Structure 1
Amino acid sequence: MWFCALIATASPWFGELSPLDLLAAFWTYNGEQYSSVLAHFSWAPRVSIALLIGCGLGLAGAVTQQVLGNPLASPTTLGVEAGGQFGVTVATLFAPALLTFSPDLAAVAGGLLAIGLVVALTWRLGFSPVTVILAGLVITFFMGALNMAFLLLKGEWLGNLFIWGAGSLVQNNWDPFLDLWPRVLAIGFALVLLMRPLQLLQLGQASASALGARVALVRIIALFLVVLMSATVVSRVGVVAFVGLAAPVLARLLGARTLAQKLIWSSLLGSGLLLLADTLAQWASTWGNGSLVPTGTTTALIGGPIILLALHSVRNTHHMPGQDSSPAGFVPVRRSTLIAASVIGALLLAIFILSMSWSPGLTQWNWTPVSEWGEAWVWRGPRLLAAILAGVALGLAGTLIQRMTSNAMASPEILGISGGAALVMVVLILTGTELGRAGQLTAATVGATGALGLLILLARKHRFAGNQLLLGGLALYVFMDAGLRLVMASGGSVATRLLNWMYGSTWLVSEHEAIALLALILALCAGLFLVVRPLTILPMGDTTASSLGLSVGRSRLILLMLAALLTAAATIVIGPLSFVGLIAPHLARVLGQQTVGRQLVVAALAGGLLLAIADYLSRTVIFPNQLPAGLLAALVGGIYFLWGLSRHGRS
């Protein structure tokens, strides 16, 4: 891998410099030859920093997996890299002097916050792989939403920061490498010193403690060093995703068994992988007429396949978060569906009236009488109607998915279906294809359908079980993440427009689109009457469901298709990133709706209410500016997810 990476990165120079001159470029140059100067100050430091960073991230990933006993753990999947970028963003806005002193401090603080949340939420659940990955993914979503909020509000100050955050190894001198290598070497040496206590963790917590290991202290120190390593890299070159996951997985697949073998081979493989990914990014930039393709994009592209390879190593999945291994000891009191639906319906009507009537003007807040609603409808009506309908669709889809997977913490967004629609939109924007609004909606539908088909292929051999569906959805999210990084690197108005849609900008919706969404959701709701029985039986387990005459695989496939269509219908209108599909079914359950039909009705109304409120607030909170409604919903939904996961941990 090293040989291929070095040959690939050196090949564009063979026509200008001899192999010996190219090798000499690492320590000297010929001042009278431009190619020699360029190789010494640009190519050689870029190769060196790629090898250095890849080695550090590979080592950090191997230690993370050893500490948590989790083959899917890495600084990326635990949210450390997103937390590091969040720390730098906050420091840029509110404490720029801190960055002048040291950019590492802000990145380390953000990384510690992210991994601290993951550890706190999953400690009581034994760090089960699926739980840890879900918690890390949602924290990544949440911190990404905060980053986007800052970008949309303060874009004139943060635009270049987010271009950097896409992950670029471009160098123009040796200073960054010379500044970074002592830090990586010192942190790597400290991680190696922990090898003996880390080896004891393989025996289990009880056995390791009996042999004198202070398990909690070892875990805290090791994770702190992992955060230091990852945040130091993020603060220098941006988010270079999934190297810390890919290298340890490949090391295991190639036969590394002992901890020493895993650490050594993960470090070497990390260097080779990152150099190959960076070379691919350089080639792609050349093919794209010189427009920058960040290294973060090409490294993210390897994350999806690596996660799928790693799934073969997952053994300790335990139960899913929200899915008890024994019958529940407490069932909420059932309440009248009519009363719950009436209350939510009244609130929805009140929000509709408020949104149409009470809004800020240029000088003060104004009340629009009913007689003038016709004029106001053009500006407020379609977006409000689309928000309500999208909330209804996501509420129904979330209920289907949670019932189907017996996982109260699942949501349509995590399945990656909305990510498929987003990825197609990214491609259309970057290629400059002008299809018009109808063409964009059609393309997004094709993307969501393609993601659904891929998800079905991934989960079919597991009979569409919950763990495989959610982890397959994580793999699909990785590809969307790669596209997002490419957009962030492009910068400009194109990136801003796409990001507005990604986070649910309802102001893009026309009246025709809102009406079309209404017709589609009504048609899909008609099919929900046929799935009440399968949704009631599936949570009893595959064996019981089969004995009652239910075709488990076929039922899950039909349910998945319905959920995907509902999610895609909402996504193509308001964007992919929202947690309404998680919150609405929970609200229905809290309101005492335990049976399938009752929960579907109340969850649909609750979803519509949530997005109607989000749309009104997004239009008025920072008037005359606006925030995407989906962004507000994602922030609230992320907090709700983390709170719900912590409750399951305590129980």
Structure 2
Amino acid sequence: MSYEATLTTPGRPKMPTRLPATVILLCLLAFLASALPWLQQLSPLQLVSAFWTYDGDQYASVLAHFSWAPRLSMALLIGCALGLSGAITQQVLGNPLASPTTLGVESGGQFGITMATLFAPGLLALSPDIAAVAGGLLAIGLVILLTWRLGFSPVTVILAGLVVTFFLGAINMALLLLKGEWLGNLFIWGAGSLAQNNWTPFFDLLPKVLIIAALMLTLIRPLQLLQLGQTSANALGAKVSLLRATALFLVVAMTSVVVSRVGVVAFVGLAAPVLARLLGARTLTERLFWSTLAGAGILLSADTLAYWTTSLSGGSLVPTGTTTALIGGPIILLALQGFRDAHPMPGHETSPSDFLPPRRNPFQVAGLLSALLAITIILSMSWSPGLEGWNWTPFTQWTDAWVWRGPRLMAAILAGMALGMAGTLIQRMTGNPMGSPELLGISGGAALVMVALALTGLDLGRAGQLAAATLGACGALALLLLLARKHRFSGNQLLLGGLALYVFMDAGLRLVMATGGTLASKLLNWMYGSTWLISEVEAFGLLALVVGLGGLTLLTLRPLTLLPLGETSASALGLHVPRTRLLLLLLAAALTAASTVVIGPLSFVGLIAPHLARVLGQQTVGKQLIAAALAGGLLLAIADYLARLLVYPNQLPAGLLAALVGGLYFLWGLGRHGKN
């Protein structure tokens, strides 16, 4: 009797009929949808024969043989590879949200290819797989290092994977903006397209996938022992650490060779195992087999949708990576339905924190931050490089320098203040120090509307963009509230809902990147906070908006003081908790939208500024709000100044520098939490 059978006493569970029926039907329907346009020109027999031969006198037959058949074969091969990789990953980590996408492996593979393109092109000539595998190992190594002590808590794993993806993506974008002439085509490719014009890529990838898959399947019996827990598996002779390392290395290798061929095809490795489990796959063998087939069906369906969308849009490329990314958000939420995460949220301590900064005089702290901000303003306006080296601009000439330096500096400071206040509201309301507008998807909702405006070509002006971004943030917020309502706006559901919204924003970005050209460059500049686009009118409009919204935050002092006492105590003191949380989230959304229009959605200032306020000893709500606003303004003022200097005469987006620093800070925060 096999060991798998002994694990499922008193009898082996019977596989439900719906599992094979659904997966096979999915594959067949995807195949038929893919073949449908060609059946108008070729008979079914001619179309099937296109996989091995073609009629040179018939153009449709040639096109089917060299384009449709290899593309369909590539979709099936890569879908199988990613489905198997996702199932192995979830088994190794015991986490229903683990996948190459949520662990950052795919973004790591693209990062490796990017670095090799710039600094070691000879390595790509030797084999692009080496660079992709190295990048994938870097990404998954960071995620595992950060979440190991938390037992790979599902929420923590996807947060760590998301921020690793943020961080590596920010580096990628910095390189793209600086070296666009070298990397432009690379990022069009990186959006994930399966379009083919011959069979060579398929036959190059096939043996590699088969070899890695065979090595994965040799681990089935040892992996079954992991279901008993680490202690029992070790007692039965399994070397758990070595087993996990080997399996994850194979997952990275499989994912990276795929990324090196077709770019980032996200979330197939998550969707396939989730579908197999929901349809009734119970044993490891069943999950691996049906996840592999489900991955093929899912990716072929997504690729067919991308093909149809490309055709209907007049030939504008819609990469497969876009359509697969669109399924990621719903799959994440579906995977967590009914799943109870026993681990604490990042930032939620099981015991009082060992680190409690001493309280400091708020006037001294505000004075210090204001003085540093004033120094930054003076340096930014006066001391900068020019055609003849570094120059000092006297105060009497600031009126001339204002046109070039003033509005962008003013907008950066105001955006930082808005994010500092928004971050404080969110962290106080959720009780989670790792919460921020970026991680709750509010920034992503505003950004998604901006992406849609760019794609449709609508020019609404800055005021119209602000209004649209605010609507996007509120729309994201409304969806977030629907998702979290039955959990009374708990931290878990808020963060997971925000992640799902980020996934949709990422799909829009992939679509824009695939278009290339000036639209992609302009939008990417804005996404990462290009303050040089700000005019004087826009800067003063933002001033009025931030001052008005900042005044409204004064009304939140009592609610934010009572909410940490718990819902029961706050209600007993006369606070209507659900309504209060809703109003606080709306205010945070408005502040976030105002800053997102200026600095982009990925700055992480909303995460860092409230923490700096606490480090400076500002523990009460009002003091923390003021200190966080000043700290946020200071952070983005410094970022804007450095963005002008670091690569002069070129410029980096200020938000990009803030994202790099913020990503490092978040990773450090997760790692510190794991050590508590």
Asked if 1:282 corresponds to 2:307, the answer is: yes
1:542 alignment partner in structure 2: 567
CA deviation after TM superposition for structure 1 residue 27, in Å: 1.1
**Residue 24 (structure 1) aligned to one of 24, 49, 68:** 49
User: How far apart, CA to CA, are the structure 2 residues paired with 1:610 and 1:331?
Assistant: 23
Check whether the contact 2:409–2:637 (CA below 8 A) recurs between aligned residues. yes
Asked if 1:320 corresponds to 2:320, the answer is: no
SS at match of 2:40: coil
CA deviation after TM superposition for structure 1 residue 313, in Å: 4.5
Check whether the contact 1:75–1:226 (CA below 8 A) recurs between aligned residues. yes
User: How far apart, CA to CA, are the structure 2 residues paired with 1:268 and 1:320?
Assistant: 34
Check whether the contact 1:71–1:313 (CA below 8 A) recurs between aligned residues. no
Structure 1, unmatched stretches of 5+, are none
CA deviation after TM superposition for structure 1 residue 433, in Å: 2.2
1:215 alignment partner in structure 2: 240
Asked if 1:157 corresponds to 2:182, the answer is: yes
**Residue 358 (structure 2) aligned to one of 295, 311, 333:** 333
1:420 alignment partner in structure 2: 445
SS at match of 1:324: coil
User: How far apart, CA to CA, are the structure 2 residues paired with 1:43 and 1:313?
Assistant: 41
User: How far apart, CA to CA, are the structure 2 residues paired with 1:330 and 1:293?
Assistant: 49
Question: How many pairs does the alignment contain?
Answer: 651
CA deviation after TM superposition for structure 1 residue 453, in Å: 1.5
Aligned-residue RMSD, C-alpha: 1.3
2:277 alignment partner in structure 1: 252
SS at match of 1:11: helix
User: How is 1:81-96 mapped onto 2 (pairs within 5 angstroms)?
Assistant: 81-96=106-121
Asked if 1:122 corresponds to 2:152, the answer is: no
User: How far apart, CA to CA, are the structure 2 residues paired with 1:273 and 1:267?
Assistant: 10
User: How is 1:53-132 mapped onto 2 (pairs within 5 angstroms)?
Assistant: 53-132=78-157
Q: Aligned letter for 2:583?
A: I
Question: Could you state the TM-score of these two structures normalised by the residue count of structure 1?
Answer: 0.98
CA deviation after TM superposition for structure 1 residue 608, in Å: 0.3
2:251 alignment partner in structure 1: 226
User: How far apart, CA to CA, are the structure 1 residues paired with 2:560 and 2:218?
Assistant: 52
User: How far apart, CA to CA, are the structure 1 residues paired with 2:610 and 2:282?
Assistant: 44
Check whether the contact 1:419–1:476 (CA below 8 A) recurs between aligned residues. yes
CA deviation after TM superposition for structure 1 residue 317, in Å: 4.5
Check whether the contact 1:29–1:37 (CA below 8 A) recurs between aligned residues. yes
CA deviation after TM superposition for structure 1 residue 540, in Å: 3.6
Asked if 1:397 corresponds to 2:429, the answer is: no
User: How far apart, CA to CA, are the structure 2 residues paired with 1:345 and 1:412?
Assistant: 24
SS at match of 1:359: strand
**Residue 12 (structure 1) aligned to one of 37, 42, 45:** 37
SS at match of 2:349: coil
Question: Could you state the TM-score of these two structures normalised by the residue count of structure 2?
Answer: 0.94
Q: Aligned letter for 2:617?
A: G
Asked if 1:597 corresponds to 2:622, the answer is: yes
1:372 alignment partner in structure 2: 397
Q: Aligned letter for 2:337?
A: H
User: How far apart, CA to CA, are the structure 1 residues paired with 2:60 and 2:403?
Assistant: 60
CA deviation after TM superposition for structure 1 residue 312, in Å: 0.4
Check whether the contact 1:129–1:317 (CA below 8 A) recurs between aligned residues. no
1:483 alignment partner in structure 2: 508
1:551 alignment partner in structure 2: 576
Check whether the contact 1:441–1:573 (CA below 8 A) recurs between aligned residues. no
Structure-2 change in CA distance of 1:383 and 1:230 (3 Å): same
Q: Aligned letter for 2:654?
A: A
Instruction: Give % identity.
Output: 74
2:592 alignment partner in structure 1: 567
**Residue 295 (structure 1) aligned to one of 293, 316, 320:** 320
Structure-2 change in CA distance of 1:317 and 1:629 (3 Å): farther
Check whether the contact 2:76–2:296 (CA below 8 A) recurs between aligned residues. yes
Check whether the contact 2:470–2:589 (CA below 8 A) recurs between aligned residues. no
User: How far apart, CA to CA, are the structure 1 residues paired with 2:425 and 2:240?
Assistant: 40
Check whether the contact 1:509–1:573 (CA below 8 A) recurs between aligned residues. yes
Structure 2, unmatched stretches of 5+, are 1-25
Q: How far does the alpha carbon of each residue in 1:564-593 deviate from its partner, in whole angstroms, 9 at most, with x for none? A: 111111001221111111111111111112
Q: Aligned letter for 2:492?
A: N
Q: Aligned letter for 1:507?
A: W
Check whether the contact 2:639–2:655 (CA below 8 A) recurs between aligned residues. yes
Check whether the contact 2:462–2:538 (CA below 8 A) recurs between aligned residues. no
SS at match of 1:273: helix
Check whether the contact 1:130–1:317 (CA below 8 A) recurs between aligned residues. no
CA deviation after TM superposition for structure 1 residue 221, in Å: 1.0
Asked if 1:643 corresponds to 2:659, the answer is: no
CA deviation after TM superposition for structure 1 residue 265, in Å: 1.2
SS at match of 2:357: coil
Q: How far does the alpha carbon of each residue in 1:570-627 deviate from its partner, in whole angstroms, 9 at most, with x for none? A: 0012211111111111111111122222211111110000000000111122122111
User: How far apart, CA to CA, are the structure 2 residues paired with 1:207 and 1:336?
Assistant: 55
SS at match of 2:391: strand
